[in-house]
Structure 1
Amino acid sequence: MSDLRHSPLHERHVALDATMAPFGGWTMPISYPDGGVVAEHTAVREAVGVFDVSHLGTAVISGPGAAAFVNRCLTNNLDRIEAGQAQYTLCCADDGGVLDDLIVYRVTDDELLIMPNAANAAVVLGRLTEAAPDGVRVTDRHAELAVLAVQGPRSPEVLDELGLPSELDYMAFRDVGDVRVCRTGYTGEHGYELVVDAAAAPGLWDRLLAAATPLGGRACGLGARDTLRTEAGYPLHGQDLSPEISPVQAGCGWAVGWRKPEFWGRSVLVAERENGPARRLRGLRATGRGVPRPGMAVLAGDAEIGHVTSGTFSPTLRTGIALALLDASSGVSDGDPVRVDVRGRPLDCVVAKPPFVPSRVR
């Protein structure tokens, strides 16, 4: 733990007696003692939760034509959004594998803020730096900025209490003082992510929790963030997306600008899309007692047809759920029965299209 990076809010988490654990090279809160993951998960679904996600990378890409440059690199089409909007996109290798999935904030045509995953930030920034034309700069601001997430149906009330803008369109952002407020999140609920200078983060955290607590809200850790995103059917890089799992296989083709003439991995991905992927990411919902976990085999009859990439117990549905990479040749589709091998015991499941709970992000 001594070699791990600390969030600007580390002392706040320690004071709350959070369970801390390594994540992406950082030590981050997994849960808090008053109720744990299930209570935190439920607070987000029913009221509001406040997360520290400062492990997420932050970098500014600036200079003449910065947006056009990034649009030639990442999969999604930045021309679809305007200044003041954000976009989910993918950084792919030349062979079509996913090096990372990230959010891009379009500030102007000549300035972007990108938010990669913690473990992949160095790879993404290194690749962009190497490819950048003269005059375009890639500036790592990971140590200078903090990121907080306010998620749940009562999240607008929290922002209103702090005088921050809550009436934002989905994936739109606005700067107010030293806080950038964006209507994004990773929970499947209406929510926001706040980017702020690291030095100002502890004070903002305190104010957010003070506003959230009377509404039934609470501090939430990365354990609840994982169960929430799995219920929402959101992929996690390193499990559901990876250098070995392409956007086509993962069902993320919607985040690819197929008509763009250029982006990393384009030729391979276009061919895979046209030919059809050999495997596809599907949702599974347990109908028997048990919880599917990553790496467990999925079977149809006696034949192994794939494996679980993400699996957990759903606090909302009170049953096991999973994302699984299944052979396209197996022919299974939504509603079909399959089994997961849970340490030698078969767990009956049904193929189900995510999200597992209704999305309320918009």
Structure 2
Amino acid sequence: MTQLRRTPLYPLYASHAGVRCIDFGGWELPVQFLGIQKEHEAVRQQAGLFDVSHMGEFIVTGEGAEAFLGRMTTNDVTKLHDGQAQYTCMCYSNGGVVDDLLVYRISAEHYMLVVNASNIDKDWDWLTLHQPSHVQMENVSDQTALLAIQGPLAEKILQQATDAPLAEIAGFEFIHDTSVCGVQTLISRTGYTGEDGFELYLRASDAPAVWTELLELGEGLGLVPAGLGARDTLRFEAKLPLYGQELTANITPLEAGLGMFVKLDKGDFIGQEALAYQKQTGVPRRLVGIELIDRGIPRSHYPVYADGVRIGEVTTGTQSPTLKRNLGLALIDTKYAAVDTEVEVEIRGKILRAKIVPAPFYRNPTRSTGGMKSK
């Protein structure tokens, strides 16, 4: 039996009485500390602190780094300035997704890529396969920890731990030469919850002390440790994709509603021809929001029907902790994707009525910054 991997914070999990860990893509990670509902509400109302150190980080350097990343990703990396980050996808030649990721531009010849934990080896192999001789890459995933502090009070809490001018960091911007709790940290204003917040990249050995101090500093403001369960419900309400569900090697960014991150006119990139054809002819499937009319909760891979024919399947579903509605994201035949179209979901052999509803299901009306990822 393969040994599950653990983040540098694993020894601290046991100090939380309600913690429950699960196997997540080969990692032993906390699904909850206090309960998914409590953690979800804390992030929407105050703040939550996530250990996402299982994510992968690659350093890409060299005079050809920008051109290399331009060929490998769907977004336009040439639009980045130093200190800016960008959400993007890597695609296969057929338009399916290798992974969705963040690109950080530290300088014109120095970038950091942040990739999904379950795809670290696959992404590294894919990039290495196409790596030009004048570009250098380093996988620093094992040496790097990643903490995410998310919620409306995230800035107020984090500011107690750093001299960095957090209010001056706009969404998808970062400061890389600063400190948090006295240790060197890259502070990025991104996230994966639909709320404002920051992600902190630091040495793995420094993570336990920073985690502990941040929880102490934020205790009076409602900061709580949060696990994968709340992370999933939060990103789901905001319609942020999870690789393996909303994005796969067989689902294109256009089908997943991520067309704004695909720049077909930027120059040659892998998957461009297939994506351009799909945009020209129209996507055959779309990712939509659905709501159960009958009593039931849609779950991943439940079949969706219309007119007696299977038209797709649920990618993610749950009872929304914020809205208290039984909602799902589903990839379905485009001709049934209009809002208010009635469909059916099969749940454990029963056919239940549902309808197409607008998504994202949740938007924070006061949020002007924040980001797209990390998982």
Dislocated runs of 4+, deviation >3 Å = none
Once the two structures are overlaid, the 10-residue window that deviates more, 350-359 or 153-162, is 350-359
CA distance in 1 between counterparts of 2:227 and 2:108 reads 35
Is the 1:311–1:322 Cα contact (8 Å) retained in structure 2? yes
Which of the residues 292, 295, 301 maps onto 1:289?
295
Q: Does 1:231 align with 2:237?
A: yes
Q: Cα deviations across residues 58-102 of structure 1 (Å, max 9, x unaligned)?
A: 110111221221111111101122110000000111111101000
Determine the structure 2 residue equivalent to 1:334: 339
CA distance in 2 between counterparts of 1:38 and 1:324 reads 23
Q: Cα deviations across residues 132-188 of structure 1 (Å, max 9, x unaligned)?
A: 222311100110000000000010111111124421100000021311111100000
Determine the structure 2 residue equivalent to 1:262: 268
Residue type of the alignment partner of 2:22: A
Residue type of the alignment partner of 1:102: L
Which of the residues 286, 292, 305 maps onto 1:280?
286
Q: Does 1:3 align with 2:3?
A: yes
CA distance in 2 between counterparts of 1:161 and 1:353 reads 38
Q: Does 1:351 align with 2:356?
A: yes
Residue type of the alignment partner of 1:21: I
Could you say if the C-alpha distance between residues 289 and 361 of structure 1 is closer, same or farther in structure 2, counting changes exceeding 3 Å?
farther
| Paired residue secondary structure (2:141) | coil
Determine the structure 2 residue equivalent to 1:143: 142
CA distance in 2 between counterparts of 1:162 and 1:220 reads 19
TM-superposed CA distance for 1:2, in Å, is 5.9
Unmatched 5+ stretches in structure 2: 370-375
Determine the structure 1 residue equivalent to 2:39: 40
Unmatched 5+ stretches in structure 1: none
Residue type of the alignment partner of 2:28: T
CA distance in 2 between counterparts of 1:85 and 1:349 reads 41
Query: Counterparts of 1:177-216 in structure 2 under 5 Å?
Result: 177=179, 178-216=184-222
Q: Does 1:170 align with 2:165?
A: no
Could you say if the C-alpha distance between residues 188 and 180 of structure 1 is closer, same or farther in structure 2, counting changes exceeding 3 Å?
same
Residue type of the alignment partner of 1:280: R
Aligned residue pairs total 359
TM-superposed CA distance for 1:361, in Å, is 5.5
CA distance in 2 between counterparts of 1:338 and 1:217 reads 40
TM-superposed CA distance for 1:38, in Å, is 0.5
Is the 1:65–1:109 Cα contact (8 Å) retained in structure 2? no
CA distance in 2 between counterparts of 1:24 and 1:212 reads 30
Root-mean-square deviation over aligned CA pairs = 1.4
TM-superposed CA distance for 1:126, in Å, is 1.5
Query: Counterparts of 1:30-109 in structure 2 under 5 Å?
Result: 30-32=31-33, 34=34, 36-109=35-108
Residue type of the alignment partner of 1:27: E
CA distance in 1 between counterparts of 2:151 and 2:30 reads 19
| Paired residue secondary structure (1:70) | helix
Q: Aligned residues: percent identity?
A: 39
Is the 2:286–2:337 Cα contact (8 Å) retained in structure 1? no
Could you say if the C-alpha distance between residues 125 and 109 of structure 1 is closer, same or farther in structure 2, counting changes exceeding 3 Å?
same
Could you say if the C-alpha distance between residues 13 and 165 of structure 1 is closer, same or farther in structure 2, counting changes exceeding 3 Å?
farther
Residue type of the alignment partner of 2:82: A
CA distance in 2 between counterparts of 1:286 and 1:357 reads 17
CA distance in 2 between counterparts of 1:347 and 1:154 reads 40
CA distance in 2 between counterparts of 1:298 and 1:130 reads 38
Once the two structures are overlaid, the 10-residue window that deviates more, 348-357 or 47-56, is 348-357
Determine the structure 2 residue equivalent to 1:131: 130
Q: Does 1:220 align with 2:226?
A: yes
